[in-house]
Amino acid sequence: MNIQEFQQKLFGMGEKQGFTDMELYFEREEKFKCGLFKGEIDSYETSEIAGGSFRGLFNGKMGYAFTEKLDEDSVLYLVENAKENAQLIEEEIQEEIFGGSEEYQAGSFYSTELAKVTVPKKIELLKEIEKHIYAYDKRVTGTNYFILESAESERYISNNKGLSLDEKQNYIGMFISVVVKQGDETKTGAYVKATKDFSSFVPKEIAKYAVEEALSKLNAKTAESKYYPVLLRNDAAGDLFQTFSEIFSAENAQKGRSLLKGKEGETIAASALQMVDDPFLEDGLLSRSFDSEGFATMKKAIVKDGKLVTLLHNRKTAGIAGIESTGNAYKGSYKGSLTVSPSNLYVVPSKKSLEELTASVDEGILITDLAGLHSGADTVSGDFSLAANGFFVKDGKVQNTVKQMTIAGNFFELLKNIEAIGSDLEFSMSNVGSPSLLIKELAVTVE
């Protein structure tokens, strides 16, 4: 059954069963993924998937159901389950099906150039990078993973209030983790990037970056466990901001799960901090001209001179707050319900390079990567205690690498303790990005 036919049957059945407003949210994705190990293709994956989510108002309550099979059985399954689900909902304030914004800003999220890159070209790139990886240093023993991934996807929203929107996007991503060994020490170095520009992958540079990352971790020494000034390199800072990006959600705030509740207009961070949510970034992973309920998206300041400008809203949370939506309604996929998420959220870069930031530190720790973010960070209280890798900094210079560490602190305090912001904004493989940040102090424990 094609999508139009499916929608017609679905809405017909829905109406018969008592639904008033109805929506079909549909996604289609084509993906290619390829992994290389010592010259051989050891994983190769292609896929074509599609699925739809039905959302509808039944007795004033919103019911949801999704399917990946577009057949007669599924029409019945969706309507019956959405109806049963709607009847269970007890929350008084409900979502609505949206008729559409007046205007949608045009964006460029699909690169026709990228779509033309052939599979042999992609494999050739991987082989080229791998050659450089092994040639770079004889301590390289293998790769932990070495994968290229490209995808094209399409989102489609249509409802019985006259809305019908459609958008395509594509990207290509690279995930590399190089393993080096020296004596008893084994270390890994990663390179991760998503882009729409295939030519931005320069094999020699990528190989150098990943291998140097791994090599730099060798000869790890211990250091005194205490409070240090901490320099978070751009990728580590981005990971931390990604983890805590939920605090900017008005939905979390309204449910008492974010300490930023009611803080609009107040100082929440060092005055140097500027944060922006930009759905129109060309290489942004969550770039989009309409959000997951069909509202027009917009670029906006979230933090200005350390003051919280606005939280992120969908139409429901905006309604509760008595303001307009910020176009941040979000569904992880057709399998999820409507929530709130940033599009591409980032800390606005300043002018200093990482070297200049380092030069300003008398004694401190430079953190280059963080682990355990899914378990060691509590977004409600802001407390975090995370495994970390990085270097000892003395007299403005990077010294030896330090054995595995933990860094502990509180994110809300960290925002206020940002002493300097770097110029090196990076998103790696995330919709949240940051330049390197110098933090006044964090508790550092060394293994």
Residue 424 CB contacts under 8 Å (≥ 6 apart), including other chains: 234, 349, 353, 354, 435, 436
Q: How far is CA 435 from the centre of its chain?
A: 15
Q: Does 404 bind other proteins (CB under 8 A)?
A: yes
Q: Does 371 bind other proteins (CB under 8 A)?
A: yes
Nearer Cβ to other proteins (113/185): 185
CA angle centred on 350, ends 345 and 355, rounded to 5°: 115
Q: Does 49 bind other proteins (CB under 8 A)?
A: yes
Cα torsion 428, 429, 435, 438: sign: negative
Structure tokens given for 325: 């939506």
Which of 89, 202, 272, 429 is in the footprint of other proteins by CB under 8 A? 89
Residue of 373, 377, 367, 372 whose CA lies nearest to 446: 367
Nearer Cβ to other proteins (51/396): 51
Restricting to residues 168-187, name those near other proteins by CB under 8 A.
177, 179, 186-187
Q: Does 115 bind other proteins (CB under 8 A)?
A: no
Nearer Cβ to other proteins (260/421): 260
Which of 204, 221, 226, 397 is in the footprint of other proteins by CB under 8 A? 226
Query: Euclidean distance between the first and final Cα of the chain, in Å?
Result: 59
Which of 299, 376, 396, 398 is in the footprint of other proteins by CB under 8 A? 376
Residue in the block written with tokens 């060309």: 282
- Three-state DSSP at 245 gives helix
Restricting to residues 351-370, name those near other proteins by CB under 8 A.
none
Size of the site for other proteins (CB under 8 A): 68
Nearer Cβ to other proteins (49/359): 49
Cα torsion 135, 139, 145, 151: sign: negative
Q: CB 405 → other proteins: shortest distance, Å?
A: 7
Which of 5, 8, 12, 47 is in the footprint of other proteins by CB under 8 A? 47
- Is residue 160 within 8 Å of residue 22, measured between CB atoms? yes
- Three-state DSSP at 365 gives strand
Q: CB 328 → other proteins: shortest distance, Å?
A: 18
Q: Does 91 bind other proteins (CB under 8 A)?
A: yes
Q: Where does this chain touch other proteins (CB under 8 A) — which range of 136-144, 161-169, 281-289, 298-306?
A: 136-144
Q: CB 65 → other proteins: shortest distance, Å?
A: 5
Q: Does 46 bind other proteins (CB under 8 A)?
A: yes
Report the C-alpha gap between 438 and 432 in whole angstroms. 18
Restricting to residues 137-166, name those near other proteins by CB under 8 A.
141-142, 144
Residue in the block written with tokens 């293998």: 142
Q: CB 69 → other proteins: shortest distance, Å?
A: 4
Report the C-alpha gap between 105 and 269 in whole angstroms. 31
Report the C-alpha gap between 43 and 146 in whole angstroms. 10
Q: Where does this chain touch other proteins (CB under 8 A) — which range of 43-51, 98-106, 107-115, 321-329?
A: 43-51
Burial of 151 (0-12, 13-18, 19+ CB in 10 A): middle
Residue of 236, 181, 273, 275 whose CA lies nearest to 368: 236
Which of 8, 12, 20, 43 is in the footprint of other proteins by CB under 8 A? 43
Q: Annotate each residue in 206-225 with x if it binds other proteins (CB under 8 A) or - if it does not, as one string.
A: -------------------x
Q: CB 88 → other proteins: shortest distance, Å?
A: 5
Q: CB 76 → other proteins: shortest distance, Å?
A: 11
Nearer Cβ to other proteins (179/323): 179
Q: CB 116 → other proteins: shortest distance, Å?
A: 18
Which of 406, 417, 428, 430 is in the footprint of other proteins by CB under 8 A? 406
Q: Annotate each residue in 308-337 with x if it binds other proteins (CB under 8 A) or - if it does not, as one string.
A: ---------------------------xxx
- Is residue 312 within 8 Å of residue 298, measured between CB atoms? no
C-alpha distances (whole Å) from 286 to each of 75, 78, 110, 177 are 30, 28, 12, 25
- Is residue 57 within 8 Å of residue 79, measured between CB atoms? no
- Three-state DSSP at 411 gives helix
Q: Which helix (H) or strand (E) holds 75?
A: helix 72-88
How many C-alpha atoms does 285 have within 13 Å on its Cβ side?
A: 19
| Amino acid at position 252, single letter | N
Residues in contact with other proteins by the rule CB under 8 A: 37, 40-51, 63-69, 74, 77, 81-82, 84-85, 88-91, 141-142, 144, 177, 179, 186-188, 225-227, 255-256, 335-337, 371-372, 374-376, 378, 380-381, 383, 385-387, 404-409, 443, 445-447
